Amino acid sequence: MAIHWFPGHMNSTRNAINDRMKQGLDVVIELLDARLPGSSANPLLAQLTEGKAKLKLLNKQDLADPARTAAWLAHYNAQPDTRAIGLDASVTAPAKALVQACRELVPLRGGMAKPVRVLICGIPNVGKSTLINTISGRRAAKTGDEPGITKIEQKIVLDNDVYLYDTPGMLWPRISVEQSGYNLASSGAIGRNAFDEEEVAVELLGYLRGSYPAQLEARYKLGEALIADTKGTSDGELLAAIGRRRGAVQSGGRVNMQKAAEVLVYEFRQGVLGRMTLETPEEFLGWVAAGKQAEAERIERKAAQKAARRGKVRPAAESQADNGDDDGDDNEAG
């Protein structure tokens, strides 16, 4: 599912980050969703802040699979000039630890003459505002369960010589990694108008029945055999079974699939299904490789179509119709 969702304020965020880079910046904190650490990492942010020390915060780790969180922390900590920490943004002590982490990343900065300048970024609805309110000890940022709450850049003094610049949550213009699109939608990072909830729920269920079948059974009591029978029972049929179990039934006994989808997605987001993570580092890297290949093929097709329209390359059907007659305008294939 390729998602195109880039509200105007996100373009403003990109410009604000560019401006902040020009004014001087020491550390970039990227807040990630511990349930989808790879999919919630913004590739556009990596480009905008290239060369800066990075602190990756895996937020909502209390909702994520602990073993997979450990794997993701190791993955990011192995990268140069990068530290990674797992936390729950509402817990005071771990949140404050990031101030010390920033100091360690830039040991030559500090003191009033050389304050540590930190930019915090993240996708929408990842818990950034909650974290800022926790570490600042006051309600410095608005919070909510919908993406796009923060709209303007804010400067917050974390310590006498540590300044934090907050920016609105920012996605990237084209989410070309298909599974990342589904995972971001499942987590609540993307506005509901940008995707089909039933489609997202079916994809989510397909992943969960493969990775967390016992937790699905514990919640919905559908029978282990039904959940495991991926050949005989489709993901859509299993979602319908969940709908029946949860009372999402219309007149005539038909399942309200929209309601069933809402139930599954909501209960995943709230952690009702248990601690789950939708990707491993290896899975995500595989998705990225496939996404890059698909994107390269898309660009190649688009270029070929554009060239054909301009008359530089004739469509294959037209060339065949000429029975191999070449008018000499096109280069021959080598």
Q: Give the model's pLDDT for residue 1.
A: 55
Q: Which long-range contacts (CB under 8 A, 24 or more apart) does 190-197 make?
A: 190/3, 190/5, 190/124, 190/147, 191/5, 191/146, 191/147, 191/148, 194/3, 194/4, 194/5, 195/1, 195/3, 197/258, 197/261, 197/262, 197/265
Calpha distance 176→299 (Å, rounded) = 12
Q: Of 231, 246, 269, which residue sits at a domain end?
A: 269
One digit per residue, the tens of pLDDT, for the chain of length 334 reads 545 555 555 666 777 777 777 778 899 999 999 999 999 998 888 888 888 999 999 999 999 999 999 999 999 999 999 999 998 877 777 777 888 899 999 999 988 899 999 999 888 889 888 888 887 766 544 544 444 444 445 788 888 889 998 877 777 777 878 999 999 999 998 888 778 999 999 999 999 999 999 999 999 999 999 999 999 999 999 999 999 999 999 988 999 999 999 999 999 999 999 999 999 999 999 999 998 898 889 899 999 998 888 886 555 555 454 554 444 444 433 3
Judge if 17 and 88 occupy the same domain. yes
Predicted local confidence at residue 16, as pLDDT: 74
211 and 102 assigned to the same domain: no
Residues 179 and 169 in one domain: no
Q: Which domain holds residue 106?
A: 11-173
Q: Given 116, 139, 173, which residue is the final one in a domain?
A: 173
Q: Is residue 297 part of a domain?
A: no
In three-state secondary structure terms, 112 is: coil
Separation of alpha carbons 118 and 258, rounded Å: 42
In a domain, 188, yes or no: yes
Tell me, yes or no, whether 27 and 161 share the same domain: yes
pLDDT of residue 48: 83
Same domain for 50 and 29 = yes
Take residue 259 and report the two structure tokens written for it. Answer: 């309601």
Residue pair 58/64 in contact (Cβ under 8 Å)? The answer is yes
Residue where a domain stops, chosen among 119, 153, 173: 173
Token pair for 86: 């797992």
Structural domains in the chain (count): 2
Parallel, antiparallel or unpaired: strands 154-159 and 162-166: antiparallel
At residue 151, the pLDDT reads 44
Query: Is residue 217 classed as helix, strand or coil in its secondary structure?
Result: helix
- Say whether both 181 and 168 belong to one domain: no
pLDDT at 71: 98
Please tell me whether residues 58 and 158 are part of one structural domain. yes
